[in-house]
Structure 1
Amino acid sequence: MHNVPPLDLVSAVPGVAWPALPDPAGSALLALLFQFERSQWWPAARIEASQRRQLAALLDHARRTVPFHAARLPVAMPDPDDGAAFEAAWQALPILTRGEIQAADAEEALLAESLPPGHGEYREIFTSGSTGRPVRAIRSQLWELIWSAFTLRDHLWHRRDFAGTLAVIRDSTPGAAPWPEGMTAPGWGGAGGGLIATGPLVGLNVMTPPAEQLGWLLRRDPDYLLSHPSILARLAEESRRTGRRPTRLRQVIAIAETLRPETRATIEAALGAPVAEVYSTREAGYLALQCPDHPHLHVQSEGVRVEVLDEAGRPCRPGEVGRVVVTPLHNLAMPLIRYDIGDAAEVGAPCPCGRGLPVLNRVIGRRQNMLRLPGGERRWPLLSSSDLGALVAAVPGLRQYQVVQEALDRLRLVLAVERTPSTAEQAAAIAWARGKFGADFAVTVEVLSEVPRSVAGKFEDFVCEVP
């Protein structure tokens, strides 16, 4: 590998400890990493050509096996080796919206009728993004394997020591990892892909108050810390206020929200460790990873096509800001072709590091509000896939939702549904909100045909109106 710490691979063959012989999944991960190590240095034109060939295979599969795309895609696309013709036809394909996914999902019209051999089983998740529109997404086992490969690439790029302790503050399931001690696992789990021997993983619920989070972090004293920028910023504030910080921390990993330059600087100064950014979504996977040598992001072109488009739908040039449209290359279970994920980003110039992967200077507008408590604390109102699944089950026909904190002890649950929820369904929604955010909250339900946009023209799934 390219300038990385030593790795201890896990052998799956009894009687063979070294050199390690991985199981089939581990061997597939090694094959992907072997190719990633080389493809990242290809010229941009070669990366684009290879991506077009995979896009052609994805479109062919979607046209043949996915009812939604059969009625939407052209009968044929130009040869992917004819770059100009293929790109012109690609730009003519319609943009897929979140609302269309919901409408198609009602009849499972976006699901492939079958998967090619080697792609494994269907896996279901729910995602909200920052739009407040719950989306049921289906992915394949192969797609999850590729997710693991990009997780490992991120660790390898940033030369992380797999023998260290990884601390994670991102679980939002009530009671799943209660403070003060949280949970402990013997390895990094999916982060090691079952291929690489790692140190322990320690985790904490995001609903833990910041002072307790810092106390937990000091006791665990990890090598690496992964969480959301808003949580990391509050930890930094608490660390600065108390004059205490972990002693072994080598790097902080920021996920799920926009990482602003001032937030990065605050975290690095308070916690005494550099910050690396990850840009991903549940339904589309890894979109971009921070360059090992620069603060901007590299699009993960081996796994996804990322387009940044201006108001006219044209690709943005370096320095321009536009909407982010993505196409995961390998999720044949539920192909998302030119999917508008609701984010904006700024395109960057080619990176001085020499990698041919496209550059995003920054991702814009993914910040959510914080839940405020009577004691003055703020907590991150994150919704897990299981949380969203429970809300969808409680309110059949849910199209969109928003939680509005009107006062320190009062929430309004705004629901956009196909039909007015019954009394029992509204009661179930209220129970869901109180179970998620706190039993002391008074919760009311407001039913609308569409959740209104913010002043900035965006949807927010959690809005705090407390002064």
Structure 2
Amino acid sequence: MIMPFESALPDIAWPAAVSGRGMATLSLLFQLERTQWWPADRLREAQQAQLKRLLDHAARHVPFYRRRLGKVADADGEMFWQRWCELPLLTRQDVQRAGDDLFSRSLPDGHGELTEVYTSGSTGKPVHAVRSDLWLLMWSAATVREHLWHGRDFSGKLAAIRESGTGKALYPDGERLDNWGFSTADIFRTGPSVSLNITTPVDDQLDWLSREEPDYLLTHPTMLDRLVRRSAETGRRPKRLKQVLTISEILAPGLRELCRTEWGARVVDTYSTREAGYLALQCPDTDHYHLQSETALVEILDSDGQPCAPGEVGRVIVTPLHNLAMPLVRYDVGDHAEAGGPCSCGRGLPVIRRILGRRQNMLRTAEGERWPLLSSDDIGKLLALAPIRQYQFAQTHPDRIEVRLQTERTLTDEEARGVLGWARAKFGQGFRIDLAFPAELSRTASGKFEDFVCLL
């Protein structure tokens, strides 16, 4: 069987003459196949070499950094890292205030054209970022690495339920491409991909999945949860599904097992942001994540700004290594994650055990802040109490939580009491619990949905 490489020349079948962009991605993949096994100290040394080039460029060509970076790039070895840790963190508010002063006034040859991206994330306050073609090439290499890590059959059908744009990928047909997108299709001959708008009612999504019968599904965790639970109720399920790829939101505890039990499919999660790119990919052998050290320096820092030990939870700080068009040096993405130890798979890429989400959506109590940690089991118990189609919990006051529900019908008094009792047991007796029934529970412009929000 000929390997499914995509030749750019119709008269050349084997070995495939891959396109120029595909060859560039392949050259990175050749290196990534080796660097993933490097020990931590070798990865750190290579990161330092690239960081020094990034800092030198930023100091000379990016107005925001001209007086911010000091002499870090002049240092070597451990002195470099000591000075690095003294650099101030870059907040989302810094990025918003800096505006164009974070854009490079000159880009080296070979970095290509620029593309713009606007990301509102979970805060509703947009960040304007620019990315170079070279950065997108690194992004493509990480995309293909993730496919290869998880052994996907490129001849299969890939379905995506994530598009949220008005009028795009509408039910009943959605949209269709002949391949999985340029990152993969530049190198491999793939099967088709299909897409459906994430705002489509869940029963219609199940109907679409039943008709399309994909091998792989890409969607958000909250959407997957609704699909799997509705599938269990109706008995309708995708029959050929091998894996579900989750993106953009926090993966709730227990959702992997729920999907495996009901659909027989493994969940593979990815951690990324639009402005910083891939931060971590799920390990092929376990459920934890490997930081993508070849494309970004990711630090997990405690409240004192020190690196977290395995098992400790801290802030996620990221420095993309190759986007000289808009350097983000020690950028606080607003998330918390738990650091992990060395992985049994043998890869030297650092580990994070789990991603906990944005700290502005932590539950505030008199004793301090804590994560709500709504597990799949928790949600299953809630949904068993009443005919709930969708839910969200909002801390509206220091002592008040609003349970927002969309239901199949008006709740009975017994059902309402059951929901209130569930919420008191979950969040604590110190909170007043209010029920609300809004006409709509909206996703963000990028299609994200948060099941718990703190409005304080």
TM-score by length of 1: 0.78
Cα drift, residue 18 of structure 1? 1.3
Partner residue, 1:255: 247
Distance 1:209 1:115 in 2: 45
Distance in 2 between residues matched to 1:6 and 1:408, nearest whole Å: 55
Match of 2:298? 306
Q: What is residue 172 of structure 2 aligned with on the other side?
A: 180
| 1:63 aligned residue | 59
CA deviations over 1:95-137 (Å, ceiling 9, x no partner): 00001101111xx100001111110011100112223221011
For residue 24 of structure 1, report the CA deviation from its aligned partner.
Answer: 1.7
- In the TM superposition, what are the counterparts of 1:23-62 in structure 2 within 5 Å? 23-62=19-58
Is the aligned partner of 1:10 residue 2:3? no
Measure, in 2, the Cα distance between the counterparts of 1:112 and 1:27.
28
Q: CA RMSD in A?
A: 2.6
Deviations 1:168-201 (A, max 9, x none): 0000001101112211110001341522110000
Moved over 3 A (4+): 366-369, 375-380, 409-412, 453-457
Give the structure 1 partner of residue 347 of structure 2. 355
* Alpha-carbon distance, 1:454 to partner: 5.9
Q: SS of the residue aligned with 1:312?
A: coil
Task: State the partner residue of 2:238.
Answer: 246
1:93 aligns with 2:123: no
Q: Percent identity?
A: 52
Structure 2 counterpart of 1:408, one-letter code = P
Counterpart among 224, 228, 240 of residue 232 in structure 1: 224
Following TM superposition, by how much is the alpha carbon of 1:227 offset from its aligned partner in structure 2, in angstroms?
0.4
Provide the C-alpha distance between the structure 2 equivalents of 1:234 and 1:145, rounded to a whole number of angstroms.
Answer: 34
Tell me the amino acid that sits aligned with residue 71 of structure 1: R
Distance 1:219 1:49, change over 3 A: same
1:209–1:379 contact (8 Å) kept in structure 2: no
1:102 match: 96
Q: Distance in 1 between matches of 2:326 and 2:17?
A: 33
Distance (Å, rounded) in 1 between the aligned partners of 2:247 and 2:29: 22
**DSSP 3-state at the match of 1:342:** strand
SS at match of 1:279: strand
The CA distance in 2 between the partners of 1:308 and 1:216, in whole Å, is 40
Corresponding letter in the other structure for 1:67: P
Change (3 A) 1:103 1:6: farther
Counterpart AA for 2:79: A
Question: Using a 3 Å threshold, how does the CA distance of structure 1 residues 260 and 6 change in structure 2: closer, same or farther?
Answer: farther
Deviation, 1:34, is: 0.2
Letter paired with 1:64? R
* Counterparts in 2 of 1:58 and 1:203: CA distance versus 1, 3 Å: same
Listed one character per residue, the Cα deviations across residues 293-337 of structure 1 (whole Å, up to 9, x for unaligned) are 011000000000100000010010000000100000011110000
**1:237-286 Cα distance to aligned partner (Å, 9 max, x none):** 11100112111111111111111231221122122101111000100000
C-alpha distance in 2, partners of 1:212/1:53?
A: 51
Alpha-carbon distance in structure 2 between the residues aligned to 1:194 and 1:454: 40
- Quote the Cα distance in structure 2 between the aligned partners of 1:46 and 1:184: 43
Contact 1:149 1:193 (8 Å CA) reproduced: no
Equivalence map 1:30-429=2 (5 Å): 30-80=26-76, 82=77, 84-105=78-99, 108-365=100-357, 377-378=389-390, 408-409=438-439
The Cα of 1:70 is off from its aligned counterpart by 1.1
Secondary structure of the residue that 1:109 maps to in structure 2? helix
Q: Which amino acid counterpart does residue 217 of structure 2 have in structure 1?
A: L
Counterpart CA distance in 2 for 1:277 and 1:7 is 27
- The alpha-carbon deviation at position 14 of structure 1 amounts to 4.8
Matching residue's letter, 2:438: L
Contact 1:148 1:193 in 2 (8 A): no
Query: Does the 8 Å contact 2:72/2:83 carry over to 1?
Result: no
Read off the aligned partner of 1:85 and give its amino acid letter.
M
SS in 2 for 1:197: coil
Q: Deviations over 1:355-391 (max 9, x none)?
A: 000000000025999xxxxx965499xxxxxxxxxxx
Total equivalences in the alignment = 384
Q: Which amino acid aligns with 1:186?
A: D
CA distance in 2, matches of 1:366, 1:245: 32
Instruction: Note the alpha carbon deviations across 1:195-229, whole angstroms, 9 max, x for none.
Output: 21100001000000111111111111100001000
Tell me the TM-score normalized by structure 2: 0.80
Specify the alignment match of 2:407 in structure 1.
none
Give, in whole Å, the separation in 1 of the partners of 2:219 and 2:125: 23
Distance, in Å, in 1 between the alignment partners of 2:38 and 2:72 is 29
CA distance in 2, matches of 1:268, 1:343: 27
> Does the 8 Å contact 2:72/2:80 carry over to 1?
no
Gaps of 5+ in 2: 362-373, 375-386, 393-434
Structure 1: any 5+ residue segments left out of the alignment?
370-374, 381-404, 413-431, 438-452, 458-467
- Judging changes above 3 Å, is the alpha-carbon distance between structure 1 residues 139 and 51 closer, same or farther for their aligned structure 2 residues? same
Alpha-carbon distance in 1 for matches of 2:136, 2:441? 36
Amino acid at match of 1:100: D
Partner Cα separation in structure 2 for residue 7 and residue 279 of structure 1 = 30
After superposition, the Cα gap between the structure-2 partners of 1:66 and 1:7, relative to the gap in structure 1 and judged at 3 Å, is: farther
| AA partner of residue 102 (structure 1) | Q
> What is the alpha-carbon distance in structure 2 between the residues aligned to residue 59 and residue 193 of structure 1?
34
| Partner secondary structure for residue 29 of structure 1 | helix
Kindly provide the CA deviation profile for residues 432-464 of structure 1, in whole angstroms up to 9, marking residues without a partner as x: 99xx99xxxxxxxxxxxxxxx96587xxxxxxx
Secondary structure of 1:305's aligned partner: strand
Q: Aligned to 2:101, what secondary structure does the other structure show?
A: coil
Distance in 2 of aligned mates of 1:251 and 1:141: 30
